[in-house]
Amino acid sequence: MRSESPPYRLMAPGPVAVPEKVLKALSLPMIHHRTPEFSEILLRVLSRLKQVFQTTHPVMIQTAAGSGGMESALVNTLSPGDEALFIVSGKFGERWANMGRAYGLKVHTLDVEWGQAVKVEEVARALSLHANIKAVFTQACETSTATLHPIKQLGEVVGSHSDCLFIVDAITAVGATPYAMDDWNIDVTVAGSQKAFMLPAGLAFIALSPKAWSFYEKSRLPKFYFDLKKELEANKKGETHFSSAVSLIRALDVVMDDLTGKNLHRQVARCQALSDATRAALKEMNLETFSSAPSPTVTAVKVPDGIDGAKWLRLMEEKYRITVIGGQDHLKGKILRIGHLGYITDEDMIATLEALGHGLQELAPELLREDQIEKALHVATLALKAAPL
């Protein structure tokens, strides 16, 4: 029985499949975090994270889910009652706005239809309408709708306001799409281990520009565990402020080879190729993508009318042993989301598209012919040749 079931494939947009070498690093014997051996690893990783973020400013590591990094960005820069603009184009934007409310900020939201990218002019308009806005918060990629926002252009607009920070949740962007923190006027970048960094969940990464650090000095929101100045001071001594997540940081050290230097470009190209292959295959199967500004890191497939999206997902999971995920809130049952981050081989991608097609065929044979699926897999295979693993 066992030999007949296909291998399990994790194809969600986070957490993602991790490479074998990461699993090996995670299983190494424990060492203490206050040792020269660990210090050396930590300092190397911290320095290389700057390359991934494309910043000359320090990047810090926090032991937390990505949302911890989002919270850290907020409490280290602002004060109670401060006005802030949150771009809300899906679940993660909602989460940040709710955090702002929880901390007593005066929250303005720019609500964007789910599946659309924010319009730069609307952000400019909001900033001129509310002169006291101290920070603009946005996702680079809104993972819940698989949409990429125009971060570079937004950086130009927000950067022209000297008293306003541009704070970006780049958890499904940095390390997998073009992203240049310093050149794009980004003041705070947040990332997380279980997405582009090909690790299990547990680490958040955060970097602040000098402008953001000047906000830190004035910021009065309560902070203790997430106090970034304390973290930075500890980092200067080759330590983290609290106990280090030694296993994850050692694994991160291994992954850094794939995310720095020339390999960063390879990684970005690979992600693009996976998404191009997916979209080309969907087209052949007469399936539509949900987002009008699709991110290279995740593709949202529209569930055709009359099809039970939950059933489709269950088929993928149980029969084909492939995890993709559905939509949230009003998109529940309406979209399926396929991730392009992490360690994905050509076989993983093709098997996913095949399962998607055959799953749909099983639910509605009239919607899809076998030759359409074959053509879809063929075009996807060609697209993947553009950027081999």
Minimum CB distance to ligand PLP smaller for 199 or for 373: 199
Least distance between ligand PLP and beta carbon 186 (Å): 15
Least distance between ligand PLP and beta carbon 192 (Å): 5
> What's at 368, amino acid-wise?
L
Minimum CB distance to ligand PLP smaller for 191 or for 383: 191
* Residue 177, strand partner residues: 174
> What's at 335, amino acid-wise?
I
Cα gap 157→127, rounded to integer Å: 9
b/e 328-364 (16+ beta carbons within 10 angstroms → b): beebebbbbbbbbbbbbebebbbbbbbbbbbbbbebe
**Nearest-CB residue to ligand PLP?**
66
Residues found near ligand PLP in the complex (CB under 6 A): 14, 65-67, 92, 139, 143, 169, 171-172, 192, 195, 201
Least distance between ligand PLP and beta carbon 39 (Å): 27
Q: Output the CA–CA distances (angstroms, integers) from residue 41 to 51, 56, 220, 240, in the order listed.
A: 16, 19, 33, 12
Per-residue DSSP letter, 193: T
Minimum CB distance to ligand PLP smaller for 13 or for 58: 13
Least distance between ligand PLP and beta carbon 42 (Å): 21
Beta carbons of 381 and 278 less than 8 angstroms apart: no
Minimum CB distance to ligand PLP smaller for 344 or for 355: 344
Cα gap 302→305, rounded to integer Å: 9
Least distance between ligand PLP and beta carbon 201 (Å): 6
Minimum CB distance to ligand PLP smaller for 192 or for 296: 192
Least distance between ligand PLP and beta carbon 359 (Å): 24
- Copy the structure tokens of residue 21: 């070498």
Minimum CB distance to ligand PLP smaller for 62 or for 77: 62
Minimum CB distance to ligand PLP smaller for 172 or for 185: 172
Minimum CB distance to ligand PLP smaller for 127 or for 325: 325
Least distance between ligand PLP and beta carbon 233 (Å): 26
Q: Number of helices (H) and strands (E), helices first, in the chain?
A: 13, 14
Cα gap 72→67, rounded to integer Å: 8
Beta carbons of 179 and 191 less than 8 angstroms apart: no
End-to-end CA distance of the chain: 31
Minimum CB distance to ligand PLP smaller for 92 or for 290: 92
Least distance between ligand PLP and beta carbon 205 (Å): 12
Residue 1's contacts (CB-CB under 8 Å, 6 or more residues apart) are none
> What's phi and psi for 176, nearest 5 deg?
-140, -15
Three-class secondary structure of residue 52 per DSSP: helix
Least distance between ligand PLP and beta carbon 141 (Å): 6
Preceding amide of 58 cis, omega within 30 = no
Beta carbons of 93 and 86 less than 8 angstroms apart: yes
Minimum CB distance to ligand PLP smaller for 86 or for 320: 86
Beta carbons of 96 and 89 less than 8 angstroms apart: no
Cα dihedral sign, 73-74-79-83: positive
